[in-house]
């Protein structure tokens, strides 16, 4: 097999990652933030052939925060350089997902209304994020808590995703809006609409 220049090395393990599948590649500069003891069947779980490039940050905090707290990456997930991946509220990334450079997935935040004047002293808010199989998150986009990115969807570079994106949709902007569906994968209602316009 030819050398893979610029790819992370094969890894048998990595500090803070609970389970690695076969043939995972993890850059030595990947960092993990977590608090407390492991919890059986939860934590940071990687499927086969996952690739984590330079300076990816995986964050689960305290697994007791929520029953959903944790990060689960399916098979062949690629997270490019500088990704910030939060599983505090729960994060599932299904098989064959591409995550571009400097993407932020935020499954937790801070309450800002009501409580303390200092935001850092307010309760943590959290809601699970799911990225379904075959989706692509473009470079620099941000996905906020509670969002599902549908199967095969594409999110444009720099977009901020504040609500669910349907399967095979192309979404761009801040906040991200669906502008079309991928050719050959559009739902029937979208195809009928296009035929009326054209």
Catalytic site positions: 110
Put the strands of the sheet holding 169-172 in their side by side order: 25-26, 51-52, 78-79, 98-99, 136-137, 154-155, 169-172, 177-181
Nearest 5°: CA angle at 105, between 102 and 107? 155
> What is the rounded distance in angstroms from the CA atom of residue 155 to the CA atom of residue 69?
24
- The SS3 call for residue 155 is strand
């Amino acid at each position: 097999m030819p050398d893979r220049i610029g790819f992370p090395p094969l890894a048998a393990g990595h500090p803070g990652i609970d389970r690695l599948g076969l043939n995972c590649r993890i850059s030595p500069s990947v960092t993990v933030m977590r608090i407390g003891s492991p919890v059986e069947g939860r934590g940071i779980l990687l499927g086969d052939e996952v690739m984590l490039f330079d300076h990816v940050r995986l964050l689960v905090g305290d697994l007791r925060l929520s029953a959903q707290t944790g990060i689960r990456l399916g098979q062949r997930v690629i997270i490019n350089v500088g990704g910030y991946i939060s599983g505090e509220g729960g994060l599932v990334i299904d098989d064959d997902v591409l995550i571009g450079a400097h993407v932020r997935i935020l499954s937790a935040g801070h309450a800002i209304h009501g409580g303390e004047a200092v935001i850092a002293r307010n309760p943590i808010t959290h809601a699970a994020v799911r990225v379904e199989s075959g989706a692509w998150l473009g470079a620099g986009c941000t996905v906020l808590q509670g969002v599902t990115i549908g199967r095969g969807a594409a999110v444009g570079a720099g977009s901020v995703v504040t609500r669910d994106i349907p399967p095979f949709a192309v979404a761009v902007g801040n906040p991200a809006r669906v502008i079309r569906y991928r050719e050959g994968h559009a739902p029937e209602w979208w195809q009928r609409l296009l035929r009326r316009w054209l």
